[in-house]
Chain A
Amino acid sequence: DIQMTQSPSSLSASVGDRVTITCRASQGIRNDLGWYQQKPGKAPKRLIYAASSLQSGVPSRFSGSRSGTEFTLTISNLQPEDFATYYCLQHYSYPPTFGQGTKVEVK
């Protein structure tokens, strides 16, 4: 199985900050990666697909990028509604595997 190592596991930030979350794949996965946001008691919501494509309706302060097997989710100008847990998901290889999650908390 492909391992997705996500970091950090948690971070503290303030409204207006720029936040970066990283997932590293244990092997090449092309661009077959999505980023999801999950708020307490709610289902995950896809923000980014194909590593860097913004899901329809998602604010443009969210962006994704790839460098080799390292994938980054960036939230520029963090908003109050962005405090949540974020997961990456690779679907290049069976089985699909998630990163461990990153909780973005209020500083």
Chain B
Amino acid sequence: QVQLVQSGADVKKPGASVKVSCRISGYTFTSFGISWVRQAPGQGLEWMGWISAYNGYTNYVQNLQGKITMTTDTSTSTAYMELRNLTSDDTAVYYCARDPGVFSVGGGFDYWGQGVSVTVSS
């Protein structure tokens, strides 16, 4: 069965970076993309960006450009999302989701990781 398993919770200081992983199983990694979505405490869902697992092409939401990097490792079927220069506004749960888009953002997220809590605090 399709599974997306994310790394564990993390606590970071302001200005630091965090890198979250998302390891997939149950499907061919390179036949889909991966989107990342975050949810601040008590808030709604925010799409952050997408990466093609086929060719590594990325597309980030405008307000995170320069702060975010998404990568993949096809040898381990793992996607990564790195967020730099963290502030308290980045405190959130971060989800990866399977995206049907291989060459561009698809958006119909059918399977999700369990989520990773990232807390930014001094």
Contact = CB atoms under 8 A, between A and B. Distances in A.
Interface in A59-107: 87, 89-92, 94-101
B44 A98 contact: yes
B73 to A, nearest CB: 22
A92 B106 CA distance: 8
B113 A87 contact: no
Interface of B: 35, 37, 44-47, 59, 61, 95, 104-110, 112-115
Nearest to B106: A91
Contacts, number: 54
Given A98-B46, A101-B44, 16 more contacts: A32-B107, A42-B114, A43-B114, A44-B95, A44-B109, A49-B108, A50-B108, A55-B110, A87-B45, A89-B107, A90-B107, A91-B108, A96-B105, A98-B44, A100-B44, A101-B45
Interface of A: 32, 34, 36, 42-46, 49-50, 55, 87, 89-92, 94-101
B59 A43 contact: no
A89 B108 CA distance: 8
A44 B45 contact: yes
B65 to A, nearest CB: 12
A95 B82 CA distance: 20
B59 A94 contact: yes
B115 A43 contact: yes
B112 A44 contact: yes
A98 B47 contact: yes
Contacts of A98: 44-47
A98 B44 CA distance: 8
Contact of B110 (A32, A46, A90, A95): A46
20 contacts: A32-B107, A32-B108, A34-B108, A34-B109, A36-B45, A42-B114, A43-B114, A44-B45, A46-B109, A49-B110, A87-B44, A91-B105, A92-B107, A95-B61, A95-B105, A97-B47, A98-B44, A98-B45, A99-B44, A101-B44
